[in-house]
Structure 1
């Protein structure tokens, strides 16, 4: 199980605190834990000030290394009239290579970030809390290989959204890469 404290936050078992998770996140996490028992103990949640949901503000306010955070961005593109959507998960010290890697993986001419309103509406999650755990069917979940590899400054943990602005999830990057349906991708992020 991840430590009870990381930075100045107190971490609790995520499945024991559904009030700190978006409904879809709790449902997906529960389903995953039913198949992979270790998930129930390995995924933790911490309540944060919702005004500090932005990665830079959160890491500074709670004494966390920036590299421990992983950002999840929703992107989409079209091919032959069909929209193809994905979540790209990259360490906060990098940025998703939307113009090359994501575009190539989705096999589209152009990939773009979803506008905030559409991203929150389709995901059922709050902006600043979007997470790959609990996204609707139809979204590919692309995880940069650096997320699954221990970071010299952050260790093997990553902090991601919970679906809500007022909390964050923590789990090992390797476990996140093992999320059902996730695709581990070398070179998804640019430094």
Structure 2
């Protein structure tokens, strides 16, 4: 029996089988594979996951992963300075992104909203529930919260609902268009 102040670790119900992402490009959609072939995220690893467990809460529970070691990627769209804006925002799954203030201000957007599912999938070539910053269209800003960039390894979507990527935060910060900012509420 655990003492009152001692934490009890619950083993995951499913194991994750990690492989170098560069050696398992068949697990990710084309845009992600193309980015890896171009030399992005060299330290990334990938593991297959079950589609019905791709959402963060279900994934963390089933695979025994702490939410503070995973990051969610949301796509935002808006207008600002007479132009259309699309961007990715990454914050830890245990946090919420300050989209209405920090992100909007940083992007110079007069209005900003979350991208619609159909639009996000069409523009990225990825599946909602697994969209990743790796392989996004050229010119899109990738805004990383400082806590995401600081992690030695962070779990993110694999571009679809059947893979997760484990990548050093510094590799995400080195992606084209990536900027590290305080984004969490």
Shared fold (TM-score greater than 0.5)?
Answer: yes
Conserved? CA contact 2:139–2:177, under 8 Å: no
Name the structure 1 match of 2:180: 184
The equivalent position to 1:11 in structure 2, one of 18, 37, 53, is 18
Matches of 1:180 and 1:84 in 2, distance apart? 16
**Deviation (angstroms), 1:174:** 2.1
Work out the CA distance in 2 between the residues paired with 1:184 and 1:80.
22
Shift of 1:158: 0.4
Question: Shift in Å at residue 80 of structure 1?
Answer: 4.5
Larger Rg: 2
Partner in structure 2 of residue 26 of structure 1: 33
Q: Within 5 Å, which residues of 2 pair with 1:84-99?
A: 84-99=85-100
Tell me which of 162, 171, 178 is aligned to 1:175: 171
Is the 1:72–1:132 Cα contact (8 Å) retained in structure 2? yes
Number of residue pairs matched? 173
8 A Cα contact 1:161 1:169, kept in partner: yes
Provide TM-score, normalisation by structure 2: 0.88
Q: Deviations over 1:94-133 (max 9, x none)?
A: 1111100110011012211001111111111011110000
Structure 1: runs of 5 or more not aligned: 1-5, 34-38, 151-155
Q: CA deviation at 1:161?
A: 1.1
1:20-59 equivalences in 2 (<5 Å): 20-33=27-40, 39-40=41-42, 42-59=43-60
**Match in the other structure for 1:62:** 63
1:88 and 1:181 map into 2 onto residues whose CA distance is: 12
Q: Which contiguous aligned blocks of 4+ residues in structure 1 show a shift greater than 6 angstroms?
A: none
1:77–1:106 CA contact under 8 A, matched in 2: no
- Distance, in Å, in 2 between the alignment partners of 1:81 and 1:175 is 32
Q: Which sections of structure 2, spanning at least 5 residues, go unmatched?
A: 1-11
Distance, in Å, in 2 between the alignment partners of 1:160 and 1:108 is: 26
Q: 1:163 to 1:84 in 2, by over 3 A?
A: same
Q: Assess if the C-alpha contact under 8 Å between 2:54 and 2:161 holds in 1.
A: yes
Residue pair 2:131, 2:158 contacting (<8 A) in 1 also: yes
User: Hey, what does 2:162 align to over in structure 1?
Assistant: 166
Q: Distance in 2 between matches of 1:169 and 1:89?
A: 14
Instruction: Write out per-residue CA displacement over residues 57-94 of structure 1, whole angstroms, 9 at most, x where no aligned residue.
Output: 00100011111110110001112541111100111011
